[in-house]
Amino acid sequence: MTLGRNDLCWCGSGRKYKKCLLESDQKSRPAQSTPKEAPLPRSHSEEADDFTSVESAMRNKKPEPSPTTGSGLPPEVEREFEQKWLDEHYRKWLDMPLPALDGKAPRQAAGIPSMRAQLIDLLKFIENGEERKRRGGHASYDVSKLKAALGVASDPSPITHNPAPMAY
């Protein structure tokens, strides 16, 4: 029996022979007769021919494992550790020399009138980052504690640079 180009493929995929295995059969074996019982190549037998609706796929979806963090700790315990780390970090930060403050520690810069604007800008930068972390559901630090420790909590927002006007 000879299989024609427009006949259904012998593999059982439901596609025409010319669109399925004709080319590979011509290269590997004579085209005169191909038995229906021939074993399928592994990759070809795994092709999906039927349609699965979105609703059906969602119903059959395996449940995701409960959320765990990379440490394996429950999220609330990890958040508590992160919060303690942030408190310790910013407690030490107050006395660290920083390049953003010309090598001065924040406590030193707070006592130098010409550096207060730089210090306030730095605190605003940190505050914005901590707010993004808070909104993202992560542990964050309350920068008002730093401002209070440095005595800059009541300072008005200084304008430290004049941006160039936009050309239209």
List, for residues 27-44, the tens digit of each pLDDT value.
766 545 555 555 555 554
Q: What is the mean pLDDT of the chain?
A: 77
pTM of the model: 0.50
Q: Which of 108, 118, 115 is nearest to 150 (CA)?
A: 108
In the chain, the largest separation of any two C-alpha atoms, in whole Å, equals: 98
More confident residue, 154 or 2: 2
Q: What is the model's pLDDT at position 88?
A: 93
Q: Is the pLDDT of residue 93 over 70?
A: yes
Instruction: Express each pLDDT in 44-71 by its tens digit.
Output: 444 555 566 777 777 777 776 655 556 7
Q: Could you tell me the CA-to-CA distances from 40 to 37, 127, 148 in Å, in that order?
A: 9, 63, 74
More confident residue, 68 or 140: 140
The encoded tokens of residue 84 equal 């303690």
Mention every residue, 6+ apart, whose C-beta is less than 8 A from residue 23: none
Contact status, residue 94 vs residue 150, Cβ threshold 8 Å: yes
The encoded tokens of residue 26 equal 């011509």
Percent of the chain past pLDDT 90, that is, above it, reads 33
**Residue tagged 């011509």 (tokens):** 26
Distance CA 26, CA 109 (A): 82
Helix (H, G, I), strand (E, B) or coil at 115: helix
Instruction: Express each pLDDT in 99-130 by its tens digit.
Output: 989 999 999 999 999 999 999 999 999 999 99
Q: Please tell me what DSSP assigns to residue 38.
A: P
